[in-house]
Amino acid sequence: MRASRFLIHTLRDTPADAVIASHRWMLRAGLIGKLGSGLYHLLPMGLRAFRKVENIIRDEMNRAGAVEFILPVLIPGELWEKSGRWKTMGKEMFRLQDRHETWNVLGPTHEESFTELMKGILKSYRDLPVTVYQIHTKFRDEIRPRFGVMRSREFVMKDAYSFHKDQASLEETYQRMRTAYRNIFSRLGLETIPVQADTGTMGGSASEEFMVPSEVGEETLLISEGGKYQSNQEKTPFVPGDPGESPVLVIEKKKLHTPGASTIEDVARLLGVDSVHFAKALLFQTEAGPALVFIRGDRQINEVKLKNALDGMDFRPASEAEATALGFVPGFMGPGNIPADVRVIRDPSIKPGRPYIVGAGERDYHESGVVFADSFTEKDVALAIAGDLSPMGDGTLRAVKGIEVGHIFQLGNKYSKAFNVSVLDETGRPLIPTMGCYGIGVQRTLAAVIEQNHDEKGIKWPVSASPFEVVLVSITRSDEEIALVESIHTELESAGVDVLWDDRDLRPGVKFADAEVIGYPVRITAGKNFFESGKLEIQVRATGETLESTPQDLLEVVGRLIGKSGQKPAEKRQAKAESPPKKSSEKASAGKKSGTKKK
């Protein structure tokens, strides 16, 4: 490929809204262009890298026995009503009415569509197990699109779904997908950490995320000292440690005057008591009514856990007016006199039988010595943090930021039941298949590769994901020199090297700067040194190492650098390629005759 016939659109300055490395370098290298909030064009250079990632994913999915489909992006709303997710997906789901006033969805995921499709295909247990997948566009109405393609409103995802006659079969495919995912990320040179995760609106009994460690990751991973436990923070159970002996002030049952102190921090400071000895009350509103949550004073609510505890319902903090209307005194709520229509949840951080300081239900007063009965529903809703005890008992937890690039689920029969999917078993009786689900964000994976492979000059692509494996930069002054470089380019292409020949009529410095920003793994320079000594300069982007090679040895050297060492030089070169480089005087003369200008 000649650069003069391609499109290279690099930027010298970083756009103001590009705050993370992948977003910055994808824009500057001309991989993407912004259309609007959370909407990005894939430019030719970016599309080549995208296809490399896509093809690795497809290769490993096919190798794992999955079968590829393409389903419509536009999905009838009735399918989402069948699954029950029309409401639970919330405002992130794009919904639209057609001219017949029928509701449709721009698919954020395709469980409903694939289940409905396979319902008409699967007839017998002999059709199971089967894994189907697509690599297709998805839509999510993100409240705050950011970080370029990391969190956008339109994106491409590989989503796969498996159907099984029993849990043992699902487990087997689940493990096969885990292996396929490890292979995909390994081939892309990505360091990933598999962690336990919440199943969220997808449902199911188990799920695992593949995280790329990164300082800019939006997810927090908690990993135990002993290495036995790895989980997303949203999934990690809080294991309460011993808060120590309660002070007398906490044990003694009495009313405490706490004027103007409505927060745990204020009351703890006023009374000189650590917040671990408090039980704070938090009131929320849900579509099913109010919910009051009690949690230890030093802990924060984990919103994912709370949503699960509230049966998947959306919630928000109740206003002071709403709390007052229920008979509560905002800032001073306690476990006494709770209206019957208020749902109550007690986090396990609050131990029945242990005394706490709580709101007295009266303005400017708290109460000590209050012991919680075990009559309240116990649900883990506390946010686990670094320093907490490991659920596996192997020390404490440390926090690592991560980017989610893949997620696998054991869905169970949530969708197959909702869509009445049934096959005949060995005895001729109806059998409801159990399902698995497996997703990878393609652009997000591409961005994660850049997050782990860049420096102050630009991207440092691994060979497997780079738009081109090699860039051949020519600095020529005559037609004969151009022909000689062209023969090198032709031989590289013929040997299967994915090479871009930068033959643009630009200054060498511009070509070199573009090569560094875009980050081709190998740069070959054919300039003054080559035409005088016959030695090509080869630079390795990842290490900065510089080598020299003759044209005769080039394929062997390049093959070794890009992992294609089995390639051999052609037995015969074109006559121009075999000719020794001209001396300086001859080149100058040739340049004058051709009328070409030095580039």
- The CA-atom distances, in angstroms, between 294 and each of 205, 282, 300 are 27, 6, 11
Identify the pLDDT of residue 564. Answer: 73
pLDDT digits (tens, 9 = 90+) for 38-49: 999 999 999 999
401 forms beta bridges with 220
Mean pLDDT of the chain: 90
Give yes or no for residue 345 having a pLDDT over 90: yes
- Secondary element (H or E) of residue 174: helix 167-187
| Model pLDDT, residue 496 | 95
The stretch 423-429 carries a mean pLDDT of 95
Pairing of strands 365-371, 254-257: antiparallel
pLDDT of 443 above 80: yes
Confidence of residue 337 (pLDDT cuts 50, 70, 90): confident
Contacts of residue 393, defined as CB under 8 A and 6 or more positions apart, other chains included, come to none
For 167, other C-beta atoms within 10 Å of its C-beta total: 13
Give the bridge partners for 97, in sequence order.
103
Which region among 63-67, 98-102, 141-145 has the lowest average model confidence (pLDDT)?
141-145
pLDDT at residue 88, rounded to an integer: 84
Q: Model confidence at 557, in pLDDT bands (50, 70, 90)?
A: very high
Q: Is the pLDDT confidence value at 582 over 90?
A: no
pLDDT exceeds 70 at position 577:
no
Q: Which residue has the higher pLDDT, 200 or 385?
A: 385
- Cα–Cα distance for residue pair 112/163, rounded to 1 Å: 13
Half-sphere exposure of 193 (CA within 13 A, CB side): 25
Specify the CATH class of 248-378 in words.
alpha beta
> What value does the mean pLDDT take over residues 92-104?
96
Read off φ and ψ for residue 208, nearest 5 degrees.
Answer: -145, 135
Give the Å distances, CA to CA, from 183 to 60, 121, 171, 212, 471: 7, 30, 18, 14, 27
Written out in words, the top-level CATH class of the domain with range 468-594 is alpha beta
| Cβ atoms within 10 Å of 358's Cβ, excluding its own | 24
Cα separation, 367 vs 249, in Å, equals: 10
Separation of alpha carbons 96 and 222, rounded Å: 39
Closest CA to 170 of 162, 158, 178: 162
**The residue to which tokens 């919904």 are assigned:** 95
pLDDT in tens, 151-194: 999 999 999 999 999 999 999 999 999 999 999 999 999 999 88
pLDDT at 198 (0 to 100): 62
> Is 593 a residue whose pLDDT tops 70?
no
The pLDDT value given to residue 244: 86
Q: What is the pLDDT of residue 214?
A: 85
Q: What pLDDT was estimated at residue 161?
A: 97
Q: What's the whole-number mean pLDDT along residues 347-366?
A: 93
Distance CA 150, CA 405 (A): 10
Which stretch of 83-97, 450-464, 510-524 has the lowest confidence by average pLDDT?
Answer: 83-97
Q: Would the pLDDT of 320 be above 60?
A: yes
Per-residue pLDDT reduced to its tens digit, 490-512 = 999 999 999 999 999 999 999 99
Which pLDDT value is given to residue 11? 94
What is the sign, positive or negative, of the torsion defined by CA atoms of 107, 112, 116, 122?
positive
For 117, 166, 416, 431, 432, the CA distances from 424, given in Å and listed in that order, are: 17, 13, 14, 6, 9
Q: Is the pLDDT of residue 470 over 60?
A: yes
With bands split at pLDDT 50, 70 and 90, how would you rate the model's confidence at 483? very high
How large a percentage of the chain has pLDDT more than 70? 92
More confident residue, 494 or 579: 494
The DSSP bridge partners found for residue 294 are 281, 346
Q: What tens digit of pLDDT does each residue of 362-377 get?
A: 999 999 999 998 889 9
**What's the confidence (pLDDT) of residue 136?**
97
**Confidence check: pLDDT of 574 > 70:** no
pLDDT at 41: 97
pLDDT at 576 over 50: no
- In 3-state terms the chain splits into helix, strand, coil percentages (rounded to 5) of 30, 30, 40
User: pLDDT grade, residue 484 (50/70/90)?
Assistant: very high
Q: How many residues would you count in the chain?
A: 599
pLDDT of residue 243: 85
pLDDT over 90 at 318, yes or no: yes
Average pLDDT over residues 80-107: 93
**In the chain, domain spans:** 9-237+398-450, 248-378, 468-594
Q: Would the CATH topology of 248-378 be identical to that of 468-594?
A: no
What is the pTM (predicted TM-score) of this model? 0.81
Cβ atoms of residues 161 and 115 within 8 Å: yes
What's the CA gap between 509 and 524, in Å, rounded? 14
Here the tokens at position 156 are 């491409």
Least confident of 347-356, 440-449, 533-542, 570-579: 570-579
Share of the chain above pLDDT 90, in %: 80
> If you search the block for the tokens 């405002």, which residue do you land on?
91
pLDDT above 70: residue 573? no
Task: Tell me the HSE value of 248 on the side-chain side, using a 13 A CA sphere.
Answer: 0
Predicted local confidence at residue 280, as pLDDT: 94
Over range 61-90, report the average pLDDT: 95
* Backbone φ, ψ for residue 33 (5° rounding): -140, 140
| CATH classification for the domain delimited by 9-237+398-450, as one of 3.40.30.10, 3.50.50.60, 3.30.365.10, 3.30.930.10 | 3.30.930.10
For residue 247, is the peptide bond before it cis, meaning its omega torsion is within 30 degrees of 0?
Answer: no
Tokens 């070959």, located at residue: 524
What digits encode the pLDDT tens for the residues 247-298?
A: 999 999 999 999 989 899 999 999 999 999 999 999 999 989 999 999 999 9
Distance between CA atoms of 341 and 503, rounded to whole angstroms? 75
Residue 199 has pLDDT above 70, yes or no: no
pLDDT greater than 60 at residue 585: no
